[in-house]
Structure 1
Amino acid sequence: MPFHLWTADVYEGAPTGVTAYLSVISKGAAAVALAIVLRFVFPLMKEDWTLAVALLSVASITVANLMAILQGDMKRFMAFSSISQAGYILLGVLAGTAQGMASLVFYVAVYVAANVAVFAVIGTVEQHAAGRTDRDAYRGLYRTNPRLTLVLTLALFSLGGIPPFAGFFSKFFIFAAAFAQGWYLVVFLALVNTIVSLFYYLLVVKAMYISEPLTADGLPVVAPLRSHPGVRLTLALCTAGVCLLGVMSFVYEGLMHWAQML
């Protein structure tokens, strides 16, 4: 995953709807499949593959975070965010236990809700900003579209692991699973990288709430808009997931019960 630098080009060039699909479905399916194969097919080789997964996880998170800071385009930005999130997901694989499997699936569920919300907003802004996907197009967005801005803020806060949103709990569970297996240094490095990720997520929030628009008339690029009903429903469901999955304890408990039965 740290070698997936082509991802940014793919995300930028593909239609936003396709990008959203690529960012969540393929990653979630691959992570669950990898965890099942390594845990049940190669349990006797655990000492060998766990080290490789640990190095891959740390490299993915670190490289992607550093690259994300440099991005000015939202789709390229989310591409490197996606690589970073994949590194966190690997911590569940690294644990190699029922707790790790449950935390991995929970993390993916929360990630899907937050990521789809972000791309739904990116797609909406793109349609009403003459195809622009650069971060400058979001400067002052709160003035004209406060609801859209709020949804994007909540989704970014969840991706960054800020409490009390579901992303905080998903990171806590997946860190706990890896920590319980003795991967203290890996968890520490992941925690440090979480602080780095907050910086670049907050760059987008700063643009929407604080930064002045760069247009000649001083008005935000995106005028007040009313999104398609399907988009509004998607944003409502994703926002509910971001806000409620973390406090609905029976979700994680159910996943833990399922993982223990495997």
Structure 2
Amino acid sequence: MSIDIPSISLTNIGPLITLSVAGLLLLLVDAFSIKGVKKGHFHQIALTAVLIALVQTVWLWDRQGADFSRMIYVDNFSFYFYVVFLIGTGISVALSIRYMEEYHKSCGEYYALMLFAAVGMMLLAAGGNLVTIFLGVEVLSIPIYILSGMFREEAKSNEAALKYLLLGGFSSAFLLFGMAMLYGGTGTMYLADLAKVIKSGGMNPLTYLGLGLLVVGFGFKVSLVPFHMWTPDVYEGAPTSITAFMSVGTKAAAFAAFLRVFMEVFPSVRMDWDMLLWVVAVATMTIGNVTALAQTNIKRMLAYSSIAHAGYILVGLVAGNQLGGIGILYYLLAYTLMNLGAFGVVILVSRKKDSCLNIYDYSGVGFQYPGMALLMSVFMFSLVGMPPTAGFIGKFYIFSAAVEAGYIWLVIIGVLNSLISVYYYLRIIVIMYMYPAEADLGPVPLNATMTTTLVFSAIAVLAIGIFPNSIYNLALSSVKILGI
């Protein structure tokens, strides 16, 4: 009896291995460190691992195919998202340094869990089989559940973790049942084989049910209406550095899987799902923006803003053309940079125990800390979608794709929602520069790493907004893999 062992190349998952090994190393170093000795080098190990993984990803660029018995895709689509995840993780680690110092914590498991979550994101983007995608969802979600409740002495942190765990479990169940229905209706769990079966035999009741459950499952992960109710409470209660990390990482990873599954498996039955997503996109944009208007807590405002941005991104998926795919990839990179930058300024202003999270705590910041206010202004302008920022180019690509596909009313609604968002984003800028300071914020304990990170994010937001061609070309070579 012979056993066929499939040929595999560990190089193809080099970035995942690097982050996994670094995460385990962090746990071991923390566990075996002498009690009472200051532990302050965990972030350096995490940042080094992220940098090495980024180099490995660049080296892998332009490889094509699948590995591990077709369970993992090796292509530019995956590698583009690897870069987005690694940039997001690196910035989040850098933002966490001062935040953890404020809480007098230096936990190896904190940074290890961030790296493990990044591995889950990569599995979601590269999954060639529904099992791999579900594995990615769980590897991403479980560390985020723990990180949300990392500060056990904080009631809001415990509440956020419990809500996220319960609702995240429900969303995973919907996703798993959807995958089971697809397997029952087609007899396979490989994305390429699913596409062939559906194209040749059409849809049946089980595959329709599976499609609907997938929309629900992914909708929870990216905070689409009506599956968004967990977002503001979890964002508010979780540590701010983790809120920043989950706001970009979870969204980008879920959209990566969303885009690959729907454009690879269901293109032949697009009319069966695009109108559903049209309605969801409109509801998500509108409810996110309108509810954000009433928020005075800046983390809740950014939470509802995150919901609205999910609606904008969904417009590109509804368009379903090449420019729509490019727009989604570009927008997710831009959103990663501008949203993490905004949360970085929130961390600086909020102080210990997140005591200054009201938007009016930003009164007079423009005069007390002009540099910090300038950075926040850049991020707010980009989130609005004003030129010459990356946010403007991202919306331009997505709305242009929708016009090209004939969804004129969807674009009109999207533009009107962008106008609504002008109020609550620019309100922060008005408060910083036109309201007198209610109290002296005192010295802001900046460090070189955090300053460099925020300046890098702001420059990147402007650079890829003024010169978008390089990112456009990378996104183009990535979406071609999906056949759009």
TM-score range, shorter chain: over 0.9
Report percent identity of matched pairs.
Answer: 34
Q: Secondary structure at the match of 1:227?
A: coil
Q: 2:455 aligns with which of 224, 236, 247?
A: 236
Structure 1: state its 5+ residue gaps: none
**Whole-angstrom CA distance in 1 between matches of 2:256 and 2:354:** 38
Residue 472 (structure 2) aligns with = 252
Q: Greater relative contact order (Cα 8 A, min sep 6): structure 1 or 2?
A: 1
Deviations 1:98-139 (A, max 9, x none): 221111000000000000000001011112696221111101
**Whole-angstrom CA distance in 2 between matches of 1:48 and 1:223:** 57
Name the count of aligned residue pairs.
257
Structure 2: state its 5+ residue gaps: 1-223
Q: 1:161 aligns with which of 366, 369, 385?
A: 385
Q: Secondary structure at the match of 1:245?
A: helix
Query: What's the TM-score, normalizing by structure 1?
Result: 0.94
Letter in 2 for 1:60: T
Shift of 1:258: 2.5
- Once the two structures are overlaid, the 10-residue window that deviates more, 225-234 or 15-24, is 225-234
Letter in 1 for 2:386: I
**Whole-angstrom CA distance in 1 between matches of 2:445 and 2:427:** 25
**Whole-angstrom CA distance in 1 between matches of 2:372 and 2:381:** 14
**Whole-angstrom CA distance in 2 between matches of 1:11 and 1:35:** 25
Determine if contact 1:39/1:97 at 8 Å carries over to the other structure.
no
Residue 341 (structure 2) aligns with = 117
Q: In the alignment, is residue 73 of structure 1 matched against residue 297 of structure 2?
A: yes
Aligned counterparts, 1:58-137, within 5 A? 58-127=282-351, 131-137=355-361
Aligned counterparts, 1:183-222, within 5 A? 183-214=407-438, 219-220=439-440, 222=441
**Whole-angstrom CA distance in 2 between matches of 1:32 and 1:98:** 15
Q: Secondary structure at the match of 1:246?
A: helix
RMSD: 1.4
Aligned CA distance change for structure 1 residues 117 and 130 (closer, same or farther; 3 Å)? closer
Shift of 1:224: 4.1
Determine if contact 1:32/1:104 at 8 Å carries over to the other structure.
no
Q: Which has the larger radius of gyration?
A: 2
Determine if contact 2:348/2:444 at 8 Å carries over to the other structure.
no
**Whole-angstrom CA distance in 2 between matches of 1:203 and 1:6:** 25
Letter in 1 for 2:446: S
- Once the two structures are overlaid, the 10-residue window that deviates more, 188-197 or 1-10, is 1-10
**Whole-angstrom CA distance in 2 between matches of 1:10 and 1:109:** 23
Point out 4+ residue stretches in structure 1 off by more than 4 angstroms.
none
Determine if contact 2:334/2:461 at 8 Å carries over to the other structure.
yes
Letter in 1 for 2:406: G
Residue 142 (structure 1) aligns with = 366
Aligned CA distance change for structure 1 residues 130 and 193 (closer, same or farther; 3 Å)? closer
**Whole-angstrom CA distance in 1 between matches of 2:242 and 2:302:** 13
Q: Secondary structure at the match of 2:334?
A: helix
**Whole-angstrom CA distance in 2 between matches of 1:7 and 1:127:** 23
Letter in 2 for 1:241: A
**Whole-angstrom CA distance in 2 between matches of 1:247 and 1:111:** 16
Shift of 1:254: 2.5
